[in-house]
Structure 1
């Protein structure tokens, strides 16, 4: 396993913005490429990607084995959302240009704390959203889609941010999707896809930053979220003693 260069880990991450291609799969492939490059780099440097995704339903690899997956893929396409297999764990999630996907890739070793990365990322998004005026909290709300202990919600009622991880030899991916603008089209496709796969959820738990009364463009809100995560990522990116 590559040793982690702590001076590289502590440096300001490289920030990459925007999509790299014309399909949802190409964006997944770009993050995978960056993850593989980090695995073999002699001096890995943290990299942060932020982009407004094309309409996508990102399924987990586990879900691709479920009965009804092929039908769920067709359902997603019928809504105008491209089905892809996500790199991290969790359940199916839908996002589109009303959202931002943030991928933070950091050097990793076997000594790094998995839970700590979730905690730091969730706290960062919570605090950034609070600074924007949202009553943001960490934790799953009952009935949320892709439920997780480190989701970020508003008012303890609606989910705003989903966070997932993937750790491979020498590298870690922490990925988050945040609904910034209108959530209704996303709510509809998740509802239909989950119904096909027999997954329970409450559509009322699907929220957005805009619905919480936060002004500002998708670009401005993305800037705030990126700046926050770029600042705090070293809180987990160092080996434990």
Structure 2
């Protein structure tokens, strides 16, 4: 397993806590906005010009769909069902399938520069190592392998005792990469899984599809609070993230977007709006 400190070989971090934002430079702060922001951070992560960035984000009652989900045969029915349940749907531009976000789910984006020299798998392993590091006083039982029956399954699902609490995706833009993880911190993982099982039941039905969508078993999903038997909060996890990067760096900067970054943000935001127009019209 690649250690995250080996991958993040920098002594300075940029730290952006966007977990309680309602707007970002005049735009409603939705998951769509978050993916545009990560694209910009990756775009400017060029060797010699940028330091690693850690960004925290939380979006209430949102289902983030993967690109394959946008091809489901009855997608409109599925999106409308989510809307009836009070969930806003967004199609992301990184890998993976549908995940459920709410106020109890903390998302972490680790944006790294100069990725031409680092493999995709090394980046995934770095994120796994980082999560183990910041939770090391609470558990040493975090495993990384695909959890069959989970939503958005992948080789780097994070679990304890066979129950998944986190999933990782990755987005590369030029020389930069955003490694994104969602952490089910509070609440019940089963409820989130039941929501997405219902979505796939409605959006796929019994139709034969080329893509293998997950057959979700809510029993294999749980939050960290449930798995650790303690009332762990999103705010407490944010403190653990910040302490983790403090231990690995000499300096933390909290600079807002520069004028050049804001120009690119406008462009990436428009791209995400276009990507999501069809789904937005369904809601």
When normalised by structure 1's length, the TM-score is 0.82
Relative to structure 1, the CA distance from residue 112 to residue 56 in structure 2 (aligned partners, 3 Å threshold; closer, same or farther) is same
What CA distance in whole angstroms lies between the structure 1 residues aligned with 2:125 and 2:171? 15
Q: Deviations over 1:65-91 (max 9, x none)?
A: 231222222122122111111231011
Q: Deviations over 1:177-206 (max 9, x none)?
A: 000111254233212112234431211111
Q: Deviations over 1:118-160 (max 9, x none)?
A: 11211221343342236321212221111111111011x2101
Structure 2 residue matching 1:148: 3-state secondary structure: coil
Q: Deviations over 1:91-114 (max 9, x none)?
A: 111111111000111113433211
Point out where structure 2 has 5 or more consecutive residues left out of the alignment: 1-7, 24-28, 205-212, 250-283
Please tell me whether the aligned partners of residues 130 and 136 of structure 1 are also in contact (alpha carbons under 8 angstroms).
Answer: no
Q: Which residue of 2 aligns with 1:214?
A: 230
Q: Which moved more, 1:84-93 or 1:120-129?
A: 120-129
Please tell me whether Structure 1 or Structure 2 has the larger radius of gyration of its CA atoms.
2
What CA distance in whole angstroms lies between the structure 2 residues aligned with 1:37 and 1:173? 11
| Cα root mean square deviation, aligned | 2.5
Q: How does 1:35-184 map to 2 (within 5 A)?
A: 35-38=42-45, 43-133=49-139, 135-155=141-161, 157-183=162-188, 184=190
Please tell me whether the aligned partners of residues 11 and 46 of structure 1 are also in contact (alpha carbons under 8 angstroms).
Answer: no
Q: Deviations over 1:35-59 (max 9, x none)?
A: 33336x8602211111222211111
Relative to structure 1, the CA distance from residue 196 to residue 126 in structure 2 (aligned partners, 3 Å threshold; closer, same or farther) is farther
Task: Specify which structure has the bigger relative contact order, considering alpha-carbon pairs within 8 angstroms and separated by 6 or more residues.
Answer: 2
Relative to structure 1, the CA distance from residue 222 to residue 69 in structure 2 (aligned partners, 3 Å threshold; closer, same or farther) is same
**2:239 is the counterpart of 1:223:** yes
Relative to structure 1, the CA distance from residue 160 to residue 38 in structure 2 (aligned partners, 3 Å threshold; closer, same or farther) is same
**2:190 is the counterpart of 1:190:** no
